[in-house]
Structure 1
Amino acid sequence: MKKIAIDDFKVTEPISLKDIPTSIDLEASEKKKDKELNKLREKLSDHQDTMYAHNKYSVLICLQGMDTAGKDSLIREVFKEFNPRGVVVHSFKTPSKLELQHDFLWRHTVCLPQRGKYGVFNRTHYENVLVTRVHPTYILGENIPGINSLDDITEEFWESRFDQINNFEKQISENGTVILKFFLHLGKEEQRQRLLRRLNKEKHNWKFSPGDLKERERWDDYQKYYEEAINKTSKPHAPWFVIPSDNKETARVLVAKAILEQMHKLKDIDEPELDEDVKKNIAFYKEILSKPETNS
């Protein structure tokens, strides 16, 4: 398999999405990619066990992408070796009435992962600067002071929202949450093929919605706003990675490798030392447990 430099996919300077390929050749068969992914996810699972015992860090994985980009299957395949207690997935859809009674970050804040655990956001707080920019009427439903009509939703409003997102991520990062954000970069033609497959395969028909086609008509708008969001919010403590996603197996390998490499940069994650008193008495405890049970 071709050697991969994950930092090549990390956004460290302004990018243009149209200049970034949606496909990359790993010079490996699907079988080899599956084998590589299996090794990576086992290592991730082992590392998460250690992180759980260490109990100082949590990890927030943010996944964004156009419809059919492969977010659901990526979550299933990358995290399938995790202890179920070690990872919690949240899929954010249209805000509920309760959620609309709070600020736009509230529903994400209450779902942040506990120390020692991974949280995966399938669609994220970035929907609030993506979908709402394409459909600004949604903002009116948030009942924000001073926002009474579309005319009130100015560029200053969006800049303020980006500031709030950056401050939110900085605050949780400084309190032990490792933030890794992935944009699954899908080509428009590949999306067309995937939508068509949903219609051609009866068991996948339920995934298709006519609304998918309406959103597809706004492809260029979404690309523009994704690009802006990525450029304004990719920070050293909360980096974005743009992942070529025309091939799902390739995208899964890249995301798993990126997570593992970023976690290995944290050199202070170790299993806690056993209490000295317990250490001194290990032989005694072994002796007790070595005695077979007897029926009284």
Structure 2
Amino acid sequence: MEESQADKRMDKQDFLERARRFSQPFRIDDGAGFQLKDHDPDDTLHLDKTDKDRAQEALTMGVKMLAEFQDLLYAQDRWALLLIFQAMDAAGKDGTIKHVMSGVNPQGCQVNSFKAPSSVDLDHDFLWRSNNALPERGRIGIFNRSYYEETLVVRVHPEILARQTLPPERLTKNIWKERFRDIRNYEEYLSNNGIVVRKFFLNVSKKEQRKRFLERLDRPEKNWKFSANDIKERAFWEDYMEAYTETIRHTASPHAPWYVVPADNKWFTRIAVAAAIIETLDSLHLQYPEVSPEARAQLATARALLEKE
């Protein structure tokens, strides 16, 4: 028997409620007192590894619902969604983006991966290249790394500041506080202009990172993913954890929250990220544009002409 519209609505509401249960535990709206050490990278809420099949089923449903929301977002053409992904190496950013966004129409999605800044980038302010990559209305933009590198890798390696050719008098002990403030103001500006910002830190443990690095070395088809620089950066693990703690503490807000997503179990990471995106899009109350009476008359005329052929 064909499922009724009422049943479909009930199934959708049930799934949205489950999405909230998966995303809310990891959402940080207010960073006051935030400590990264209080968040377990191996957390899977009430699920265990034997629930992987159910998890995959939930992700499949989530991808389908995300595609429906993205179609509404594109048709309405009022909002844009910016998803920012930050993480240590091997935390699974690429795989999460690939799996969660697999059902989205490529026309409605823009992905930007930010590598080390070029000489042109360094001749501009630190938000310049990100600003040029913002999604248009009706589209989902994905930043694989972002302007947050300025309070993470640059903070861990302050010698990078010397290459940014800033005036010496701007290189004060308050530069990180100033950048946190600039980012908060920037994200409020984006929110005021209809660009919804959601930020994800994929929280992988040092132990799990080691395991994934060894896997990349052991499997020839994954050798290309490994870089000697990955090991060098691993030596700064504690510095990065402190930088992430400070960054999330000072830039989490209700209009641009962070999601500190456990990343030791990829199957769970993908569910939690999909749930947060779905919950966000649902909160926008998206609808297809209403057709005016004049346009409806034109549609009726077009139908009549087609039926006469």
CA–CA distance in structure 1, aligned partners of residues 298 and 23 of structure 2: 46
CA–CA distance in structure 1, aligned partners of residues 102 and 293 of structure 2: 36
SS of 1:49 mapped into structure 2: helix
Cross-structure match for 2:284: 266
Cross-structure match for 1:155: 173
Deviations along 1:192-236, one digit per CA (max 9) or x if unpaired, are 000000000001101111111110010000000001000100001
Cross-structure match for 2:35: 16
Q: Which blocks of at least 5 consecutive residues in structure 2 are unaligned?
A: 1-14
What is the CA distance between 1:291 and its match in structure 2?
A: 3.5
Structure of higher RCO (CA pairs closer than 8 Å, 6+ residues apart): 2
Q: Does 1:53 align with 2:70?
A: no
Q: Does 1:288 align with 2:305?
A: yes
CA–CA distance in structure 2, aligned partners of residues 289 and 92 of structure 1: 49
What is the CA distance between 1:5 and its match in structure 2?
A: 4.3
The AA in structure 2 aligned to 1:176 is G
SS of 2:28 mapped into structure 1: coil
Q: Does 1:63 align with 2:95?
A: no
SS of 2:82 mapped into structure 1: strand
Aligned partner of 2:115 among 66, 86, 93? 93
CA–CA distance in structure 2, aligned partners of residues 39 and 155 of structure 1: 49
CA–CA distance in structure 1, aligned partners of residues 224 and 189 of structure 2: 39
Aligned partner of 1:174 among 170, 192, 214? 192
The AA in structure 2 aligned to 1:111 is A
What is the CA distance between 1:34 and its match in structure 2?
A: 1.5
What is the CA distance between 1:15 and its match in structure 2?
A: 1.8
CA contact (8 A) 2:22 2:275 kept: no
The AA in structure 1 aligned to 2:121 is E
Cross-structure match for 1:82: 104
CA–CA distance in structure 1, aligned partners of residues 160 and 284 of structure 2: 40
Given the two structures, how large is their TM-score scaled by the length of structure 2? 0.89
What is the CA distance between 1:281 and its match in structure 2?
A: 4.3
SS of 2:83 mapped into structure 1: strand
Aligned partner of 2:241 among 206, 223, 229? 223
Aligned partner of 1:42 among 64, 79, 82? 64
Cross-structure match for 2:220: 202
What is the CA distance between 1:8 and its match in structure 2?
A: 1.3
Cross-structure match for 1:121: 143
CA–CA distance in structure 1, aligned partners of residues 184 and 41 of structure 2: 27
What is the CA distance between 1:289 and its match in structure 2?
A: 1.4
Deviations along 1:38-84, one digit per CA (max 9) or x if unpaired, are 11111111111111111110000000010000000111101110111
CA contact (8 A) 2:204 2:263 kept: yes
Aligned residues: 286
SS of 2:180 mapped into structure 1: helix
CA contact (8 A) 2:82 2:135 kept: yes
SS of 2:81 mapped into structure 1: strand
The AA in structure 2 aligned to 1:226 is Y
Q: Which blocks of at least 5 consecutive residues in structure 1 are unaligned?
A: none
CA contact (8 A) 2:27 2:258 kept: yes
> What's the RMSD between the two structures over aligned residues?
1.5
CA–CA distance in structure 2, aligned partners of residues 216 and 283 of structure 1: 64
Which of the pair is proportionally richer in helix?
Answer: 2
What is the CA distance between 1:7 and its match in structure 2?
A: 1.6
CA–CA distance in structure 2, aligned partners of residues 76 and 217 of structure 1: 29
CA–CA distance in structure 1, aligned partners of residues 172 and 90 of structure 2: 31
CA–CA distance in structure 2, aligned partners of residues 218 and 281 of structure 1: 64
CA contact (8 A) 2:76 2:289 kept: yes
The AA in structure 1 aligned to 2:247 is A
SS of 1:183 mapped into structure 2: strand
Given the two structures, how large is their TM-score scaled by the length of structure 1? 0.93
- Consecutive aligned runs of 4 or more in structure 1 exceeding 6 Å deviation: none
What is the CA distance between 1:249 and its match in structure 2?
A: 1.1
The AA in structure 1 aligned to 2:303 is K
CA–CA distance in structure 1, aligned partners of residues 112 and 191 of structure 2: 19
CA contact (8 A) 2:29 2:256 kept: no
The AA in structure 1 aligned to 2:80 is S
Superposition map of 1:20-31 within 5 A: 20-25=39-44, 26-27=47-48, 29-31=51-53
What percent identity do the matched residue pairs reach?
A: 40
